[in-house]
Amino acid sequence: MGTFLIVNAGSSSVKFQVFTSGSSGELVRKIKGQMDGIGTRPRLRASGPDINSTVDREYERDGVPNVPVALQTAGAWLRDELGIHPTAVGHRVVHGGPDFDRPVVIDAQILDKLERYASLAPLHQPHNLAAIRAILARSPHLPQVACFDTAFHRSHSAIADRYAIPERFYAEGVRRYGFHGLSYEYVASRLIDVAPEIASKRVIVAHLGSGASMCALASGRSIESTMGFTALDGLPMGTRPGQLDPGVVLYLIGEKGMSAAAVQDLCYRECGLKALSGISNDVRELETSTDPRAELALEYFCHRVALYSGMLAAALEGADAFVFTAGIAENSAGVRARIVAKLAWLGAVLDPPANAAHAPMISRRDSRLALYVVPTDEELMIARHTLALLSSSGTPSRVVETTR
């Protein structure tokens, strides 16, 4: 039996979950929590199946200034108050570059390779790796597994994988990777149970959250994605622009005199729904606002989802189903209704009562395009990979002290 700590580290929050595995290999979720407000208003919240595994604590601003200290604080709570000592840690790592097409057990050499991709995912990669380094420094013998958001898309064809630029850049790793792969992999696995009639068919999946992308699945495999070299491409997001003419970047640098760092900050933090609305990057706020700019932002977002649906349908040579997943798609019946209305040309017909009730299937019986809502679970996917990799590699499963 093993105990796995699953970590998803960001710039101002560390999400974590704890799973145990039994002798038959089943995974049981024991704890789900996060430390957010790192460096500003730190707060540890977590819940589990019993009262002892529930916590909601606030800390002084300087008490949790960064990701390593956040991990240390959460780890101390798990160890000292719950008696949990992980046998391994699984991490979400956003960018695996061209070298990693599957999960790997991390060592110093692999960690150094992953540092190369920090500039390609600046909102995520540095913080993903900071968490790994923090645990490695304090518990060097504790196995850690990196699970990549890009890995699921490495099945793309050469045509889907490339940009029309000189070959030397492709050889260096400038190619269309795709992201949110752990989410798409989980959804593909769930369709086998929740919708077996379409699991092996042509499926468009829309992962719509603060970060947003779409993926074309054929027989459960990714064949095309809206994201490319970085997590900036494709759909507009909370603070990212999505598809952007490269000429805009050249204009900002050449004509406006902006530095590359300033353009990067603009594209990752000041665009998307935040820029369009001038109000917020949170869809919940936009849906309750009477400001016409909020309506513009929502309509723009849904319009782009519909446009990319056409692209992915072309890649699949048709579409049998459309799946909504992730925060916005799972919780906003209004956004789903807007998008489905724009997919009528694909044969989509919404069942409004089912949509309002957030039912698993939200299409009417006469809809040629089946419509589903499938909640994602990236942490469970990471736990599965961690268990499978350590079991197959023969890595010893042993209890090691977590961070102090």
pLDDT per residue over 41-65, tens digit each? Answer: 999 999 988 777 789 999 998 899 9
Q: Which residues of the chain have pLDDT under 50?
A: 396-404
Asked whether the beta carbons of 235 and 241 are under 8 A apart, the reply is: no
Q: What is the Cα–Cα distance from 314 to 326, expressed in whole angstroms? A: 24
The pLDDT of residue 103: 96
Q: Name the maximum alpha-carbon separation found in the chain.
A: 63
State the pLDDT at residue 397. 39
Question: Do 15 and 8 contact (CB within 8 A), yes or no?
Answer: yes
Catalytically active residues are 149
- Distance from the Cα of residue 246 to its chain's centroid: 25
What per-residue confidence (pLDDT) applies to 52? 76
- The neighbour count for residue 255, using CB atoms within 10 Å, is 8
Element (H, E) at 146: strand 144-148
Instruction: Say what the pLDDT of residue 401 is.
Output: 31
Flag whether the pTM goes above 0.85.
yes
Give the whole-angstrom CA distance, residue 263 versus residue 232. 12
The predicted pLDDT at position 389 comes to 94
The predicted pLDDT at position 393 comes to 66
Q: What is the pLDDT of residues 84-133, one digit of tens each?
A: 999 999 999 999 999 899 999 999 999 999 999 999 999 899 999 999 99
pLDDT at position 96 = 95
Burial class (CB in 10 A: 0-12, 13-18, 19+), 189: middle
